[in-house]
């Protein structure tokens, strides 16, 4: 009898006790049974999620603790389905049925480092296809797919690639921005831990498209497990000839290096990240010149987010039309949403663009974990707006979000219940900017510090009306005069908190 | 400096690497637990940059320390997702329980308590990390269970 147990080795699964369960399980194996440490499927509310495969069927149990695993191991397998933690087949859960998985189609299925498993699931088909195309045809394919950058700015990937492809230089670079610092986002981490070869493949395709022979992944230091997985995946891809001097026996080279950041939020901004890769302080550069023309070490550089580069593998494997057929308007393909904060069912959802925030948070997310009413949803990371209930019917689409003064960003949705104090959240936004500002421009560096002071005065009811006006003015200055998005977008959470939740700022001052 | 051999090895390894300063500092901190100021001039010379540039980079990034940390480093996430699940209260509890303020190392050197902005466990907030091992869905009771050792030491 062969039976395989799957227990994720993912960061969040580990943070919920999966490693201890794996050890417990390992000690109780019978002959013919093996434990696979897979990636997570991203249903983090079910982690640790044990799946048992026997006779082609895969049954899930979760969220599982040591006592429950002990109970299962003490009973005959035929009785397991009766156990309180049994979920049946995960594919049949409403959470997964509502999704359209492209980028995350392999996440959680197998050991992320198993190259044969990757190849068996369409792995490296995109690269094989790209190796038979002229570079301009690869760029054309990405353009036609309508793929836009998944890092937040949503710039069309193909246009960026074309600029780099058309630039002439001795050396060009592909840089993957894996500095996922936004609270409420973990899609990059999940992808890198659950399906690292997909990112490697996407970067190699990008190298072929623009003529770059070197690539860097800039990974944040807060993700030690991710580093481990990527480090090993790069080594295995090199050994198998998917990276190196002769990728896929094509006589074309692509070398990939993993670099680790040092705990600076601003290094998620592309030019600050390039400075950091060059071994300097992560100071933002003025644009132009664009990194596409003068990027890393002054050379033409493609800078894309993890999910953007990963999606390229799918685009090249399935064709641009298949990708562009999903989505709405100018938001093509799928959107990777991350449900976080005070939410009952938190995790990653890959859905076509166009569902509403309310549908996602209430129906799929199940509302708050505390059981209290939702007060606000912060979309798009720490620099995104706090959305009140009147905005929850907005479809998840870049333009629709911009239309309500919000930002879809990287697709993070952080839920707050009615106990949240929005003045405290606004103050935090300014304090975070003050802490993490690179310091190069005055509006961001000084404006954020003054912002904290003004909000403190408002909360202390010190001339609140005049200070609210002053805060508005300060937000204007930061928005219009900052060098990059850090100072330019910090007014988003602050203003939305002031506009939609004024009662939290001046609890007894009615007219403000 | 006391660990000249280690520093030499690290500099040999990264000397010719483009943008090698961060990898040098990272390796040095991994090896010694901090980046001693006495190392700046040797690093600057090897990478052909100024001592001021080395100092500028070390002081810019949150990860680098110029003094040793406590025997154990506990980080509590302060970002929005964890705030929505009570990280402010959890932080106050951690300060009381460990007998040290956020951002500081306890006088006996047993523990450093630090803020962190996102460990990537946002679907299961609030999150903490103990010596880089992260723990999610941490309430006060779970925090106490995870940190029993240091709390006992501070009680005695």
ipTM of the complex: 0.96
Q: Which residues of B touch A417 (CB under 8 A)?
A: 84
Chain A interface includes B137 (CB < 8 A): yes
Closest partner residue to A181 (CB to CB) among B21, B47, B118 is B118
DSSP state of A361: I
pLDDT the model gives residue A28: 95
Closest partner residue to A347 (CB to CB) among B80, B117, B123 is B123
DSSP letters, A192-218, are HHH-HHHHHHHHHHHHHHHT--EEEEE
Shortest alpha-carbon distance between residue A382 and chain B (Å): 7
Shortest alpha-carbon distance between residue A98 and chain B (Å): 18
Report the C-alpha gap between A377 and A141 in whole angstroms. 36
Report the C-alpha gap between A166 and A202 in whole angstroms. 20
| Spans of chain A below 50 pLDDT | 510-512
pLDDT the model gives residue A151: 79
pTM of the model: 0.96
A304: left (phi over 0), alpha (psi -120 to 50) or beta: beta
Chain A interface includes B11 (CB < 8 A): no
* A222·B81 Cβ contact <8 A: no
Counting one residue from chain A and one from chain B, the pairs whose CB atoms sit within 8 A come to 149
Yes or no: say if A366 and A343 are a contact pair by the CB < 8 Å rule.
yes
* A186·B26 Cβ contact <8 A: no
Shortest alpha-carbon distance between residue A191 and chain B (Å): 12
pLDDT the model gives residue A508: 57
Reduce the secondary structure of B84-136 to three states and give it as a string: CCCHHHHHHHHHHHHCCCCCEECCCCCEEEEEECCCCCHHHCCCEEECCEEEC
pLDDT the model gives residue B154: 63
**Largest Cα span, chain A:** 76
pLDDT per residue as tens digits for the range A372-412: 999 999 999 999 999 999 999 999 888 888 888 888 888 99
What six digits make up the tokens of A353? 């663009």
In terms of DSSP H, where are the helices of A171-305? 187-194, 196-210, 224-239, 270-277
pLDDT the model gives residue A512: 44
Q: Using the structure block, give the residue that is written with the tokens 């399980």.
A: A25
Q: Which residues of A touch B120 (CB under 8 A)?
A: 11-12, 180, 185-186, 189, 222-223, 226
Of chain A, the end-to-end C-alpha distance in Å amounts to 72
Q: Which residues of A touch B84 (CB under 8 A)?
A: 340-342, 414-417, 420
Determine the average pLDDT of the residues in B18-47.
97
What six digits make up the tokens of A163? 């600029």
Q: Which residues of A touch B47 (CB under 8 A)?
A: 279
pLDDT per residue as tens digits for the range B97-149: 999 999 999 999 999 999 999 999 999 999 999 999 999 999 999 999 999 87
- pLDDT above 80: residue B70: yes
* B123·A339 Cβ contact <8 A: yes
Confidence of residue B1 (pLDDT cuts 50, 70, 90): low
Chain A residue nearest residue B77, CA to CA: A183
pLDDT per residue as tens digits for the range A116-134: 999 999 999 999 999 999 9
Shortest alpha-carbon distance between residue B32 and chain A (Å): 16
pLDDT the model gives residue B151: 72
Chain A residue nearest residue B134, CA to CA: A15
Helix or strand run (H / E) with residue A143? helix A135-145
pLDDT the model gives residue A76: 94
Mutate to test the interface with B, among A11, A183, A269 (most CBs of B within 10 A): A183
């Amino acid at each position: 009898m062969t039976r395989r147990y799957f227990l994720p080795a993912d960061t969040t699964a580990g943070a919920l006790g999966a490693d201890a369960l794996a050890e417990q399980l390992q000690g109780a194996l019978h002959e013919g049974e093996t434990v696979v440490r897979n990636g997570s499927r991203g249903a983090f509310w079910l982690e640790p999620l044990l799946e048992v495969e026997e006779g082609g069927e895969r049954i899930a149990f979760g969220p599982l603790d040591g006592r429950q695993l002990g109970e299962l191991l003490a009973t005959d397998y035929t009785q397991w389905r009766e156990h309180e933690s049994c979920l049946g087949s995960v594919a049949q859960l409403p959470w997964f049925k509502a999704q359209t998985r492209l980028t995350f189609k392999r996440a959680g299925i197998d050991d992320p480092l198993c190259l044969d498993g990757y190849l068996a699931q369409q792995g490296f088909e995109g690269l094989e296809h790209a190796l038979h195309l002229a570079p301009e045809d690869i760029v054309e394919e990405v353009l036609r797919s309508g793929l836009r950058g998944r890092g937040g700015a949503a710039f069309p990937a193909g246009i960026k690639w074309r600029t780099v492809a058309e630039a002439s230089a001795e050396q060009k670079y592909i840089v993957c921005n894996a500095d996922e610092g936004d609270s409420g986002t973990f899609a990059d981490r999940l992808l890198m831990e659950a399906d690292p070869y997909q990112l490697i493949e996407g970067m190699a395709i990008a190298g072929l498209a623009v003529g770059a022979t070197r690539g860097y992944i800039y990974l944040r230091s807060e993700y030690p497990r991710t580093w481990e997985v990527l480090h090993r995946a790069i080594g295995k891809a090199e050994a198998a000839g998917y990276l190196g001097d002769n990728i896929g026996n094509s006589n074309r080279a692509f070398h990939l290096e993993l670099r680790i950041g040092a705990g600076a939020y601003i290094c998620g901004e592309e030019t600050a990240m390039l400075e950091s890769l060059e071994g300097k302080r992560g100071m933002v550069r003025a644009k132009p010149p664009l990194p596409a023309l003068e990027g890393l070490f002054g050379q033409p550089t493609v800078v894309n987010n993890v999910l953007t580069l990963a999606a390229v593998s799918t685009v090249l494997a399935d064709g641009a039309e298949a990708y562009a057929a999903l989505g709405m308007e100018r938001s093509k393909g799928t959107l990777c949403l991350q449900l976080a904060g005070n939410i009952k069912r938190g995790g990653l959802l890959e859905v076509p663009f166009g569902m509403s925030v309310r549908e996602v948070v209430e129906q799929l997310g199940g509302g708050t974990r505390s059981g209290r009413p939702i007060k606000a949803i912060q979309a798009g990371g720490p620099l995104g707006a706090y959305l009140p209930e009147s905005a929850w019917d907005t479809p998840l689409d870049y333009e629709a979000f911009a239309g309500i003064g919000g930002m879809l960003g990287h697709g993070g949705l952080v839920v707050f219940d009615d106990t949240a104090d929005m003045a405290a959240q606004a103050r935090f936004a300014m304090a975070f900017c003050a802490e993490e500002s690179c310091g190069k421009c005055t509006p961001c560096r000084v404006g954020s510090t003054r912002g904290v002071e003004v909000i403190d005065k408002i909360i202390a009811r010190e001339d609140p009306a005049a200070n609210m006006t002053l805060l508005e003015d300060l937000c204007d200055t930061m928005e219009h005069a900052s060098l990059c998005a850090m100072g330019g977008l910090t007014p988003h959470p602050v203003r939305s908190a002031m506009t939609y939740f004024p009662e939290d700022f001046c609890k007894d001052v009615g007219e403000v | 400096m006391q660990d000249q051999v280690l520093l030499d090895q690290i500099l040999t390894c990264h000397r010719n690497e483009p943008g090698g300063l961060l990898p040098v500092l990272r390796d040095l901190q991994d090896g010694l637990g901090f980046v001693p100021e006495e190392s700046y001039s040797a690093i600057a010379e090897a990478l052909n940059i100024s001592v001021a540039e080395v100092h500028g980079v070390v002081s810019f990034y949150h990860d680098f320390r110029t003094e040793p940390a406590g025997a154990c480093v506990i980080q509590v996430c302060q970002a929005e997702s964890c705030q929505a699940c009570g990280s402010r209260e959890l932080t106050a509890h951690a300060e009381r329980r460990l007998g040290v303020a956020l951002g500081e190392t306890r006088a006996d050197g047993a523990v450093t308590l630090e803020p962190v902005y996102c460990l990537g466990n946002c679907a299961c907030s609030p999150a903490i990390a103990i010596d880089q091992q992260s723990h999610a869905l941490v309430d006060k009771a779970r925090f106490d269970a995870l940190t029993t050792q240091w709390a006992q030491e501070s009680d005695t």
